[in-house]
Amino acid sequence: MKRCLLPICLLFFSSICFSQDWPTRPVKFIVSQAPGTSPDITARFIADRLSKAWNQSIVVENRPGGQNVPGSQAAAKSAPDGYNFFFATTAAIVSNPVTFKALPYDPAKDFVPVAMIAKSPMVIAVNPTVPARTLAELVALDKAQPGKLAAANEGAKTFSGMISLLLNKSAGMQLLQVPYNGVSPAIQDTIAGRTQVVLVSSAAMLPFLKRGDLRPLAVSAGKRVRGLEDVPTLAETYPGLEYVGWFALLAPTGTPPAIIQRANRDMDKVLTDPEVAQRLFDLGLVNEGAGTPESLNEFLRAERERWAKLVKEIGLQPE
């Protein structure tokens, strides 16, 4: 019995020593979106703070395009040595699997959860000239003039596009869906009046809401969002309609568990620092700490079910 326990004990203690010594060289965060986007800005801010705790640089590597597929694939195939992490988004992990017939990576099998970073609800907003100050008034306006109001989003198979289609179905609306290649042109065209409604993330829209360029009518979170406390949730009118985007740190499967635990613990210290929390709030993000790898795993499981249900409800066919 003692002989059997010895290898286990040695493995346990070597794992602890390994996590204490790690990292001994630069760490990489792979981001599947372009520089200057909300995930990129957040990843670089977090990486800067975390690098100080680790006394090692963290390199943010952008792999944009292809609806997050190339970046996700690169992250999945990276070495599981504790020096490669995926700064993942909702699209990469839970919506892509239900909107693509096939993917060159398996989000459930190729990654292990490390830490939740932050959540980013969608905001439904209108050009200030639109005579609607509540969601109910927007619904009434649309029903009075079916198909006259144009809603800007990032495309039918993106987070904002799917929520926009779900809003149409849930409210009995006929908002004309206008897809854009990116958040910025969708926002700018709504400010200019070429579209009347826009549905994108709070992180992207917050500066324009603060300036009064757009008027918020509802958020997609399950509860009201700090900084937008006067803006009702969709669920207050349509129970169960609760969807938020999010960023989470994942690692390729096979990454040593001791490093996963160390990264989670250090990430939580960063996220709960008051200065960091304020900065994330300024970016329009909801930060509730890193949680645990186990709680993130359960969250991802529930999200996969939620998004599969959403795609079925709006009748979106995987391609």
Could you tell me how many residues make up the chain? 319
**pLDDT value, residue 40:** 94
Between CA 239 and CA 233 the distance in angstroms is 10
Strand boundaries in the chain, DSSP class E: 27-31, 58-62, 84-89, 111-126, 150-153, 176-179, 197-201, 215-219, 244-252
Between CA 261 and CA 132 the distance in angstroms is 49
Q: Rounded to two decimals, what is the model's pTM? A: 0.87
Q: DSSP characters for 282-314?
A: HTT-B------HHHHHHHHHHHHHHHHHHHHHH
31-78 pLDDT tens trace:
999 998 889 999 999 999 999 999 999 999 999 988 899 999 999 999
Res 14 pLDDT > 70: no
Instruction: Please list, in sequence order, all residues whose beta carbon lies within 8 angstroms of the beta carbon of residue 120, skipping any fewer than 6 positions away.
Output: 38, 201, 202, 203, 244, 245, 246, 247, 284, 285, 286
* Three-class SS state of 112: strand
Between CA 32 and CA 11 the distance in angstroms is 35
- In the chain, the domains with their CATH numbers are 25-120+244-314 (3.40.190.150), 121-237 (3.40.190.10)
State percent of the chain over pLDDT 90: 80
pLDDT band at 5 (very low <50, low <70, confident <90, very high): low
User: At which residue do the structure tokens 């995926």 appear?
Assistant: 86
Angstrom distances, CA of residue 177 to CA of 15, 107, 114, 169, 198: 52, 29, 36, 13, 10
Res 198 pLDDT > 50: yes
Cα-based angle 133, 167, 93 (whole degrees, multiple of 5) = 125
